[in-house]
Chain A
């Protein structure tokens, strides 16, 4: 299992009601794990029957599985919920093309082009399908080979998944400027993915991933709380527990730093450590561009 799928799985397990299923199912589909992708997409659809993204996702999975009728129904549902959804228009056009109806395919592609005139793939597909229409309907289903080549008409691909973030170089690291023990420091992005650092103990990386997954959206939630309560911008969150303390602080708009220490270190000192780690991470993030 890759890190991104593991992190997304952890996130979905922790927050079954979240929309993480969209990213997870798409990541599984892209890896060719179609049965797993189908199960995740099915679960998400059950929970969010009114979400056009979920129907669109299911259509892509079914299309990859070869269930073209099922894919058609799913794209039709996505369109019913969101008539401007170009991915669904392209998907249905692709299925009409495969079924030997280039005129219907062309009609859907033209609708997609009206919605997004800058979509180059739609223009290419229109060029390809128009030729078939002019030739009187020679279609993919009537040829022995599916269309290939640079102007071939292919099913729509989803946009790149938002996570995981760019690979993190091993050295220098975001906490290099922090003196002393750097374990127990984590840099986490807004999607709950661990960018760097690890927690203490043998299970450090896995625990770090679990904790990072819990922190998805925490920055937004903290900002919302301080804003609505008239407390301005948020700076830090400190948590004191029987077996240790942790402090969260922002390194950038999209990332937070977590510092965790055992309870022998006073909470105030953990806050100072978190501030230093955040400054160090900020410098590192700026250097990454």
Chain B
């Protein structure tokens, strides 16, 4: 597990221990990867972050159009692995969590401890204001590359 900011470590470690998740990615909605567990290649993180942020943006827009407010999360069930994708509010802005898990755990367990992690992150987050750059395509790529460099040392 690697995290860009130390206050993310404890909540994420607890989540990983309790949920038995195989892969986890925490990122801002502008694509900056905050922490990752289980990914061995920066390319995978880059792809997952881009896809995850895109899916969340699409479903949130769909929710807005249909008057559903906000979807709480999205689960894809697979035979061997499943995936939870959920956005949540933090004092540092809106973040996205992407979790891949197998049959050794359940979506209920993952969701339960994901929600617990969100509470812990909200409580632990430093209160200074997050930078509020507009979420443009070039910002997304720049921030993503910067965070990958920090996480993988490349």
Q: Which residues of A does B touch, CB under 8 Å?
A: 15-18, 47-51, 77, 80-81, 224
Is the Cβ of A224 less than 8 Å from the Cβ of B23?
no
Is the Cβ of A50 less than 8 Å from the Cβ of B102?
no
Residue of A nearest to B116 (CB): A228
CB distance from A281 to the nearest CB of B (A): 28
Select which of A18, A51, A81, A224 is within 8 A of B104 by beta carbon.
A18
Residue of A nearest to B36 (CB): A50
Is the Cβ of A47 less than 8 Å from the Cβ of B40?
no
- Known pairs A15-B104, A17-B103, A18-B104; A77 contacts B40 (CB<8 A): yes
How far is it, in angstroms, between the C-alpha of A15 and the C-alpha of B102 when the chains are bound? 11
Residue of A nearest to B103 (CB): A17
CB distance from B82 to the nearest CB of A (A): 12
Is the Cβ of A17 less than 8 Å from the Cβ of B104?
yes
Chain B residues lying within 8 Å of A48, measured Cβ to Cβ, are 22, 38
Is the Cβ of B102 less than 8 Å from the Cβ of A224?
no
Residue of B nearest to A77 (CB): B40
Chain A residues lying within 8 Å of B40, measured Cβ to Cβ, are 49-50, 77, 80-81
DSSP class of B's interface residues: helix, strand, loop or mixed?
Answer: loop
Is the Cβ of A49 less than 8 Å from the Cβ of B104?
no
CB distance from A84 to the nearest CB of B (A): 12
Is the Cβ of A17 less than 8 Å from the Cβ of B20?
yes
- Known pairs A17-B20, A17-B22, A224-B18; A50 contacts B39 (CB<8 A): yes
Chain A residues lying within 8 Å of B92, measured Cβ to Cβ, are none
Q: Which residues of B does A touch, CB under 8 Å?
A: 18, 20, 22-23, 37-40, 102-104, 152-153
Chain B residues lying within 8 Å of A47, measured Cβ to Cβ, are 22, 102
How far is it, in angstroms, between the C-alpha of A16 and the C-alpha of B18 when the chains are bound? 17
17 contacts between A and B (CB under 8 A): A16-B104, A17-B20, A17-B102, A17-B103, A17-B104, A47-B102, A48-B22, A49-B39, A49-B40, A50-B37, A50-B38, A50-B40, A51-B38, A77-B40, A80-B40, A80-B152, A80-B153
CB distance from A271 to the nearest CB of B (A): 28
User: Lowest 9 CB-CB distances: which A-B pairs, in order?
Assistant: A17-B104, A50-B38, A49-B40, A17-B102, A50-B40, A50-B39, A15-B104, A18-B104, A50-B37
How far is it, in angstroms, between the C-alpha of A50 and the C-alpha of B22 when the chains are bound? 9
Chain A residues lying within 8 Å of B153, measured Cβ to Cβ, are 80
How far is it, in angstroms, between the C-alpha of A18 and the C-alpha of B20 when the chains are bound? 9
How far is it, in angstroms, between the C-alpha of A92 and the C-alpha of B48 when the chains are bound? 31
CB distance from B40 to the nearest CB of A (A): 4
How far is it, in angstroms, between the C-alpha of A77 and the C-alpha of B39 when the chains are bound? 12
Chain B residues lying within 8 Å of A50, measured Cβ to Cβ, are 23, 37-40
How far is it, in angstroms, between the C-alpha of A193 and the C-alpha of B74 when the chains are bound? 38
How far is it, in angstroms, between the C-alpha of A160 and the C-alpha of B101 when the chains are bound? 29
Chain A residues lying within 8 Å of B38, measured Cβ to Cβ, are 48-51
CB distance from A78 to the nearest CB of B (A): 10
How far is it, in angstroms, between the C-alpha of A224 and the C-alpha of B14 when the chains are bound? 13
Chain B residues lying within 8 Å of A224, measured Cβ to Cβ, are 18
How far is it, in angstroms, between the C-alpha of A50 and the C-alpha of B39 when the chains are bound? 5
Residue of A nearest to B152 (CB): A80
Chain A residues lying within 8 Å of B23, measured Cβ to Cβ, are 50
Chain A residues lying within 8 Å of B37, measured Cβ to Cβ, are 50
